[in-house]
């Protein structure tokens, strides 16, 4: 008991603890993302050396923990960290949602055990994957270092190169403009494209918290 109380004395403020938990959540999200996209797109089997479902539960626990810590911090220590506390409570939802979408990608991989191939839109799919991964990975860096120029660049990449392309792919599949895809392939690619867009969009929301005032988190600068 005394050891635990001593540990508490050495501990950071609840705000700092909550911030560190957000960083940890992002690192876990990134791992989940890499394993689930690899399983769907680059492996012929569904097995991956990572338990996506257990990790997703851990992410959900982190989300509740962050909220509780920020609430306690603001109630006890006053309003000094009110702005940054509210930002964390807001972005932790985006971080949790990214975890959910990576889980959705893995769900799809389980139902589509062979490698998902993009047919005539393979190049576009690869481009979205590349750009989404770029936004997500660098978004984590920008958030951790509070790098405003990098955050601005990533928001531009999302707006100009990811959002519209994802929509175009989904709309073209629904409209039947892409004829070389089987039903399961078409449905999977439409969903995959949508999930990647959502992951990039939540990453954009995360980094918009560095650039924008509180009320404009998740919106363009």
Partner 1 sequence: MKKNTINLIFNIFLITGCLYLFLVGINGMSEAFKGLGTGFAKHILSTTANPFLALFIGTFATVLFQSSSTTTAMIVSMVSGGALTLGGAIPMIMGANIGTTVTNTLVSIGHINRGNEFKRAFAAATIHDFFNMMTTAILFPVEYYFHLIEKAATLLGSILFGTITPDHVFHSPVKQAVKWGSNKIEFIAFDHSIIFLVFSIALTLFMLYSIVKILRGLVLSKVEIFFDKYIFKTAIRAMIFGLILTFMVQSSSITTSLIVPLAGSGVLTLIQIFPYTLGANIGTTATAIIAALTLNATALVAAFAHLLFNILGIMLIYPIPQIRKIPIFLAERLSEYSIKNRFVPIYYLLTIFIIIPLTIILIGEL
Q: Which residues bind partner 1 (CB under 8 A)?
A: 1, 4-5, 8, 11-14, 17, 68-69, 71-73, 75-78
Looking at residue 78, the DSSP 8-state letter turns out to be -
Q: Which is nearer to partner 1, 72 or 145 (CB)?
A: 72
Look up tokens 């994802």; give the residue.
166
What is d(CA 211, CA 36) in angstroms, rounded to the nearest whole number? 30
Per-residue tokens: 8: 């508490």
| Least distance CB 23 / partner 1 (angstroms) | 18
What is d(CA 123, CA 128) in angstroms, rounded to the nearest whole number? 9
Q: Which is nearer to partner 1, 17 or 170 (CB)?
A: 17
Dihedrals phi, psi of 213, to nearest 5 degrees: -70, 165
| Least distance CB 209 / partner 1 (angstroms) | 22
| Least distance CB 72 / partner 1 (angstroms) | 5
Q: Of 39, 160, 148, 21, which Cα lies nearest the Cα of 91?
A: 21
Q: Which is nearer to partner 1, 21 or 56 (CB)?
A: 21
Q: Which is nearer to partner 1, 25 or 70 (CB)?
A: 70
| Least distance CB 5 / partner 1 (angstroms) | 8
């Amino acid at each position: 008991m005394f050891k635990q109380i001593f540990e508490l004395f050495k501990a950071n403020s609840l705000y700092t603890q909550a911030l560190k938990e957000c960083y940890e959540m992002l690192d876990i999200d990134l791992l989940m993302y890499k394993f689930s996209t690899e399983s769907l797109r680059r492996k012929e089997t569904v097995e991956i050396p990572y338990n996506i479902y257990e990790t997703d539960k851990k992410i959900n626990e982190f989300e509740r923990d962050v909220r509780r810590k920020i609430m306690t911090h603001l109630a006890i220590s006053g309003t000094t960290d009110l702005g940054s506390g509210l930002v964390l409570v807001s972005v932790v939802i985006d971080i949790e949602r990214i975890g959910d979408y990576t889980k959705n990608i893995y769900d799809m991989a389980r139902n589509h055990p062979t490698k998902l191939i993009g047919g005539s839109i393979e190049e576009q799919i690869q481009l979205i994957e590349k750009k989404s991964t770029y936004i997500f990975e660098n978004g984590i860096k920008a958030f951790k270092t509070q790098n405003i120029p990098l955050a601005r660049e990533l928001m531009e990449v999302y707006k100009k190169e990811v959002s519209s392309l994802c929509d175009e792919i989904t709309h073209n599949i629904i409209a039947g403009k892409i004829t070389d895809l089987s039903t399961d392939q078409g449905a999977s690619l439409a969903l995959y494209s949508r999930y990647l867009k959502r992951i990039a969009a939540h990453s954009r929301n995360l980094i918009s918290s560095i650039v924008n005032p509180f009320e404009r988190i998740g919106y363009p600068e």
